[in-house]
């Protein structure tokens, strides 16, 4: 039975993750909508009363000398640009090359079916993928349902990933910049500010929301001064809040990568085939994990110039930015369920979970646990990677602005069967009403009646927060004293301080980016 459950867990995870690479197409009817941007007109499609536009360019192709530099505005075009086909994804490993392009800095836009004559609130989605994979050419997210159920315009934007997006090569390439993937997101938000009114949107009411590394990037915007004019609220879902680098760490990781590539010159890096550019990412994953523990390999770097500090430290500068943030109950079970005895006894494996902890701190965090064990690894990974960074962010910002937090506990029937709890990413198919598109067959990943009800409630919460700044009248605001948290489950409930005294144990924890 255990083997069956493990196989089903792997299968379920592959279904959820691999659905990201499959294209989705909106229904096309006559009288296609046309909108005017500052660069030219674009033609989209109609769907169920709404409008959608795919592959709207917000920046030039990042080839040659533009590969490792900030994004550049696209050239104007004459006539009407057809934006009815999904764009290619950014360069990465794991996809066929035909689905990737360095000309990928484009947006998808969904305008809901609405009779409102007022400008609509805007929700700007940042996909996750450990800063290394992902894209907006996805069937994973049902943005039509998201737009119609929230009553908001939904936007998603491609941004550079891995080597081109989050490797700091400033010491090697003259004119290169760090954080290019994050720079792309800010540039896309600037495009939204300048153009969304033409699509019926309100440029003064933009909520940035994301999951995993996408959530971390959403929070990172709080520490980017140039992004401040372009958004008003943040929704952070399962942010890997510890996955940032100090300049020294970023330089170290860049050196590891350069060594694996044979130390190419600046010219070679700017002209190298894109597929070759990402060919050593797998090796880098191993090297970084062995040195820094389980975290993302590619990370934003706190350079003190563009990303001026860790987002948890920028509360005083963001009194006008409201925040909704949360995580799933068992985030790390997806990553650590395979670490079973005798692997739990190996020091190098233990360091993946408790990276470079000193003896006194390690003794404190494992106190009362059956350590070392798979269960303890999952709990420790969930705390270090998600709960503690979330608590720190919420504690700090609740002193200066409105903060709402949640914990997602809901488990669809199949998730319950594999016995991993509400693990990382299980909330996404519910929130987005996700389908698995197999060509001739398209089926919901989770389609039970309760699944639909939980997803509908979440979309209502998210939409209310985006439109009005409050997800629900019965959702208590968070502060350091109550740590009020909405538990999202078959029925939702408010609890105070759901993690008890465990978070106080981490007060002596020093994040890697802060060393």
Which residues are tagged catalytic? 212
Peptide bond into 372 cis (omega under 30): yes
Report d(CA 349, CA 346) in Å as an integer: 5
DSSP 86: P
Report d(CA 154, CA 143) in Å as an integer: 7
- Secondary structure class of 327 (helix, strand, coil): strand
Phi first, then psi, for residue 273 (nearest 5°) are -55, 135
CB 54 within 8 A of CB 86: yes
Closest CA to 136 of 109, 167, 162, 165: 109
Q: Give the chain's length.
A: 515
CB 172 within 8 A of CB 68: no
How many C-alpha atoms does 32 have within 13 Å on its Cβ side?
A: 17
Closest CA to 309 of 131, 69, 513: 513
Q: Give residues with Cβ within 8 angstroms of 88, minimum separation 6.
A: 99, 100, 101, 103, 104, 135, 137
Report d(CA 377, CA 357) in Å as an integer: 14
DSSP string, 406-441: EEE----HHHHHHT--S-TTTHHHHHTT-EEE-SS-
Closest CA to 296 of 342, 338, 249: 249
Report d(CA 12, CA 421) in Å as an integer: 13
CB 130 within 8 A of CB 216: no
């Amino acid at each position: 039975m255990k083997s069956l459950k493990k196989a089903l867990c792997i299968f379920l995870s592959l279904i959820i993750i691999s659905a990201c690479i499959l294209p989705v197409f909106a229904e096309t009817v006559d009288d296609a909508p046309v909108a005017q941007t500052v660069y030219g007109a674009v033609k989209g499609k109609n769907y169920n009363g709404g409008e959608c536009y795919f592959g709207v360019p917000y920046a030039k192709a990042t080839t040659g000398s533009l590969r490792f530099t900030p994004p550049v505005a696209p050239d104007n075009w004459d006539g009407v640009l057809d934006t009815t086909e999904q764009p290619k994804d950014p360069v990465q490993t794991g996809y066929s090359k035909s689905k990737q392009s360095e000309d990928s800095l484009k947006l998808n836009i969904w305008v809901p079916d609405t009779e409102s004559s007022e400008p609509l609130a805007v929700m700007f989605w940042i996909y996750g993928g450990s800063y290394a994979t992902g894209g907006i050419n996805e069937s994973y997210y049902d943005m039509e349902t998201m737009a119609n159920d929230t009553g908001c315009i939904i936007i998603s934007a491609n941004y550079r990933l891995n080597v081109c997006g989050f490797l700091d090569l400033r010491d090697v390439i003259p004119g290169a910049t760090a954080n290019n993937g994050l720079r792309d997101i800010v540039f896309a938000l600037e495009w939204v500010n300048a153009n969304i009114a033409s699509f019926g949107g309100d440029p003064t009411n933009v909520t940035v929301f994301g999951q995993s590394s996408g959530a971390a990037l959403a929070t990172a915007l709080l520490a980017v001064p140039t992004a401040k004019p372009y958004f008003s609220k943040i929704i952070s879902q399962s942010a890997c809040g510890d996955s940032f680098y100090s300049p020294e760490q970023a330089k170290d990781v860049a050196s590891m990568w350069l060594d694996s590539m044979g130390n190419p010159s600046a010219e070679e890096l700017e002209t190298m085939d894109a597929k070759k550019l990402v060919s050593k990412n797998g090796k880098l994953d191993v090297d970084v994990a062995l040195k820094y523990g389980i975290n993302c390999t590619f990370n934003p770097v706190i350079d003190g110039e563009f990303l001026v500090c860790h987002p948890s430290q920028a509360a005083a500068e963001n009194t006008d930015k409201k925040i909704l943030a949360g995580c799933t109950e068992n985030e790390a079970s997806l990553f650590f369920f395979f670490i079973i005895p005798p692997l739990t006894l190996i020091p190098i494996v233990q360091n993946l979970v408790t990276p470079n902890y000193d003896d006194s701190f390690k003794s404190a965090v494992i106190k009362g646990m059956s350590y070392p064990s798979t269960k303890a690894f999952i709990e420790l990974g969930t705390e270090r990677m998600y709960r503690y960074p979330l608590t720190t962010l919420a504690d700090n910002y609740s002193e200066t602005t409105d903060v709402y937090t949640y914990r997602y506990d809901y488990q669809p029937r199949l998730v319950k069967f594999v016995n991993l709890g509400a693990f990382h990413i299980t909330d996404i198919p519910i929130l987005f009403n996700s389908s698995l598109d197999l060509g001739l067959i398209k089926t919901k990943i989770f389609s039970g009646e309760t699944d639909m009800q939980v997803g509908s409630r979440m979309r209502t919460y998210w939409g209310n927060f985006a439109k009005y700044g409050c997800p629900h009248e019965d959702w208590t605001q968070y502060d350091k004293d109550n740590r009020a948290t909405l538990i999202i489950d078959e029925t939702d409930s408010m609890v105070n301080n759901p993690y008890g005294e465990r978070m106080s144990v981490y007060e002596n924890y020093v994040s890697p980016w802060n060393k």
